[in-house]
Amino acid sequence: MKQSTLPTRVRFHPICYTSFNDLAVIFTPCTTFFNRKKKHILKSIRYREIASIEISIVRVPTIYLYLLGTSLHLQIVVHLKNKEKISLENEDISCLPALLNLLKRKKIPIVDYMDIQSILLTHETLESFYTHMDSNLTSPKEDQGKELRN
């Protein structure tokens, strides 16, 4: 009798790093401790190829010292003029002000359904912004319940 094995959930490390420089959005492969080859660019997207960028904050399940919890991540969806979409996620929300300034300077339309930009302006520090978002962001299950009740 053949024993079946259940697939296990594995968390993969990032495949590439994304950087927003002054000329383009650049995707560079991650290197590991054992693979220290020279980094090469996987892909670059010039700003003139971008139709808009959508920003949002999402709650992501995490484990810290064997305790289950959640953290907030910045979610970025790059909408290209050729109708392609590229979804990015960053666990460090502190990059948000610099990213917003760069996008405004490059005249890239920012889609902000959560009104993150104005919420960010009302807080003096990123810590207070994070606390505000953490206490006011509903989970997807809560959103579904609201939709069902209405």
DSSP per residue, 101-133: HHHHHTT--EE-TT-HHHHHHT-SSHHHHHHHH
Claim: this prediction has a pTM higher than 0.75? no
38 pLDDT above the threshold of 80: no
Mean pLDDT across 100-111: 93
Q: In whole numbers, what is the pLDDT of the chain averaged over residues?
A: 78
- Nearest CA to 80 out of 110, 111, 107, 48 is that of 48
Give the integer Cα–Cα distance in Å for 64 and 106: 38
pLDDT of residue 62: 80
- Cβ atoms of residues 28 and 40 within 8 Å: yes
Q: What is the pLDDT of residues 25-36, one digit of tens each?
A: 888 877 654 455
Q: What is the pLDDT of residues 5-25, one digit of tens each?
A: 444 444 445 567 788 888 888
Mean pLDDT across 45-50: 94
57 pLDDT above the threshold of 80: yes
Check residue 83 and give left, alpha or beta (phi > 0: left; psi -120 to 50: alpha). left
Q: What is the pLDDT of residues 59-68, one digit of tens each?
A: 888 887 887 8
